[in-house]
Chains A and B, each alone.
Chain A
Amino acid sequence: MMRVVRIREFCLFDEMRNNGEVRAPYHLVAKWLDDIGLDLLSVRAEEAEAIFRRIGITFAVYGEGGDPERLIPFDLIPRVLGASEWDRLAEAIKQRAKALNAFLYDIYHRREILRAGIIPERLVIENSAYLPEMVGFDPPGRVYSHVVGVDLVRTGEAAFSVLEDNCRTPSGVSYMLENREITMRMFPELFGDGKVRSVDTYPHDLRRTLEEVAPPACTNSRPAIAVLTPGPFNSAYYEHSFLADLMGAELVEARDLEVHEGRVWRRTTRGLDVIDVIYRRIDDAFLDPLIFNKESVLGVPGLMNAYLSGGVTICSAPGAGVADDKAIYTYVPDMIDFYLGEKPLIPNVETYKLSNPDDLAYTLDHLDSLVVKEVAGSGGYGMLIGPRSTASERKLYAQRIEKDPAAFIAQPTLDLSTAPTLIGGEIKPRHVDLRPFCLVGKNVRLTPGGLTRVALREGSLVVNSSQGGGVKDTWVLAKDPS
């Protein structure tokens, strides 16, 4: 069974124009661009940047010199998805989120998918993200990953594929909301008649999702929710505080919390308040120094004890990271078949597993045309982009691969679709991807939209904000133009 897409060479797809014609979903934007003209658009772009600076939406970038709190460039020209095109994507994303959660429940319980020989046991059980502490525990609602960020790329009119899944703490949802806010402020006339579906239900949906997984010990009719952040030095701190505000939740650091009587309490000036659900934006290793990392000053001693005895719910569940490991990614289509009995609605990108000798040999021979990633890496760090690399970079990378082949996967260099983007006062095509945010509680919810990331350098395929990418507002149309 062919479960992966082979990406044809040179099939550059532009989101706005197909064979010179404006695609139906883009009619609105095309007309607007004609009406407004480039000069006014550039003025508006500067205004938008000034507003972003004033609000202070920044994203710390690691591994570069200069300003550690860089502004993520915002491009004013929205990326548009048609109604029926979105409906198909939405089904596919929900399917994936359900399968990933079913997989996590399975590997921490009966391990049927391993017994059936569909996924090698070693890949799961010896994966450092697999937490022995979680074996046999039933998280409320059997949900492990409550916010699944699925990264999608497009290579043709109907050709979407999943580049990766983010099951731990996907970030970027604040940009989805803020980008819309700014676009509405600049061009209110575009939104007056409900042509574009709203995204501002997200914080409310997130809160409902978290309430649905309140722990057995919860007695509050409205569960008390806290967003747990590493603190102001974290690159996504803005997002943590922003979401806490919009959800009506407390923003806390580990030092604000303590555990006793099997519950988690927040210290306030008036005494202690119980916390039912923790939406955590810190890594597993920093949750509880009595269990994971003794050296961690970020954790809450006893948090895991409260969680495993039903006194609090941690979202996402500790140990959920097994599902977004890049070596596990290659098996997601199998999970969809195994747990849901369905065919994957969106395929994976063809992926070479370098633990396999044939794939390793092929990859080492074709480093100049492949993208190589670390299995456990994230944020676009530590990648090799073959076509953009020098011979000496490839040589160094090959040495790293040969040391530990199983730590890498390789994929063909994708011709990501392009979308019109304002660059230096002109409209140019730039590569984009899309990260919708799927919420999983008792119900599965998906906000119509997501984060569109755009690679601002000409020809660049790296859209990660940590690598200098920008963002766009993402529109989902309420109706397809007839």
Chain B
Amino acid sequence: MTRLIVRHQTIYTYVPPGGRAAMRLRLFPTSYATQEIGTWQVTVNETAIEPSYRNACAIPEALWAHDGPTNEVSIIATGVINREEDAGVIKGLKERMPRGVFLRRTPLTTADSAVEALADDIKGDTVLETLHALSAAVREAVAYTSKSTSMATSAAEALAQGTGVCQDHAHVFIAAARHLGIPSRYIAGYYYAGQDEDLSETHGWAESFVPDLGWVGFDISNETCPTAAHIRLVCGLDADDAAPIKGLINGQSNETLKASVAITSSSSQSQQQQQQ
């Protein structure tokens, strides 16, 4: 068992102060066979916040609303998660979403002819083999280059430029897998990469539905199935649909975002990165 201590902080600053703000928060990891929530707390501007319902993928959702004026919104998610190795296979998650939903195309995951060609070239005897080969092919076709894409970059665009980050790897993989008729979805989560690794605020990977196994994760960027260092947070059709934080604020003000994720494993030192 791996014990991971997480502190995920996101600070939005508004100049001049904004008006009424509303945020949709999905910062609550869920328990399943190999992921157990020890303790977990989410606060917004130091007030604890609880989820008001769970969606059909068993992801809890909370809403935070504030009348304004809004100078700063500081969101902290912190706690202890216990993980077991599971080769990326998700078991014991109480979800009710029909798998067919994850065959839908979204603007970020629409396969163009290049994505389709990449998918059609994959040779695998089984669905699982096909997915492993697809993961490797996507990693091959899209070089990991930080800051080479944005939140709005689509699967087709990332493949065309041949560079991207974890989000783009996952989008290309999902678009290709759906083209092959395999239900696939985007996972936003935390990843403990050891001490000296540089990674983005939250990590992104994919899950596909494999007959007889169920949902299986593929971390394309790290060329692995999720391990005990991966914490599963939100699932959705794409990175936008699975965004842990979505917010709206009234008025015209400049927003600056500062985020940091610090993860400590009980057997290691902490690590921290800052993003501006």
Contact = CB atoms under 8 A, between A and B. Distances in A.
Given A291-B24, A308-B53, A301 B96 contact: no
Given A126-B103, A258-B65, A290-B246, A111 B22 contact: no
Given A126-B103, A291-B24, A259 B63 contact: yes
Contacts of A111: 98
Given A132-B55, A305-B63, 16 more contacts: A122-B100, A125-B98, A132-B237, A135-B96, A135-B98, A259-B65, A262-B52, A290-B22, A290-B24, A290-B63, A291-B24, A302-B24, A302-B65, A305-B53, A308-B55, A308-B61
A97 to B, nearest CB: 25
Interface of B: 20, 22-24, 52-53, 55-56, 61-63, 65, 96-98, 100-101, 103-104, 237, 246-248
B20 A258 contact: yes
A302 B55 contact: no
Contacts of A305: 24, 52-53, 61-63
Given A291-B24, A302-B22, A309-B52, A125 B248 contact: no
Interface in A120-137: 121-122, 125-126, 130, 132-133, 135-136
26 contacts: A122-B100, A125-B98, A125-B100, A126-B104, A130-B101, A135-B97, A135-B101, A136-B56, A136-B96, A258-B20, A259-B63, A260-B65, A262-B52, A262-B63, A290-B22, A290-B23, A290-B246, A291-B24, A301-B22, A302-B22, A302-B24, A302-B65, A305-B53, A305-B61, A308-B61, A309-B52
Closest 9 A/B residue pairs (Cβ): A125-B100, A135-B56, A301-B22, A309-B52, A305-B63, A290-B24, A136-B56, A136-B96, A309-B53
Contacts of A309: 52-53
Interface string A297-327: 0000110011011000000000000000000
A262 B97 CA distance: 24
A289 interface: yes
Contacts of A301: 22, 65, 248
Contacts of B104: 126
A377 to B, nearest CB: 21
A290 B248 contact: yes
Nearest to B62: A305
B97 A132 contact: yes
A126 B101 CA distance: 6
A121 B100 contact: yes
A289 B248 contact: yes
B96 to A, nearest CB: 4
A302 B63 contact: yes
Contacts of B22: 259, 290, 301-302
Contacts of A122: 100
A176 B23 CA distance: 42
Contacts of A262: 52, 63
Contacts of A130: 101
By CB atoms of chain A within 10 A, which of B55, B98, B237 has the most? Answer: B98
A132 B101 contact: yes
Task: Give the residue among A262, A289, A301 with the most B Cβ atoms within 10 A.
Answer: A301
Contacts of B56: 132, 135-136
Interface string A125-163: 110001011011000000000000000000000000000
Contacts of A308: 52-53, 55, 61
Nearest to B240: A294
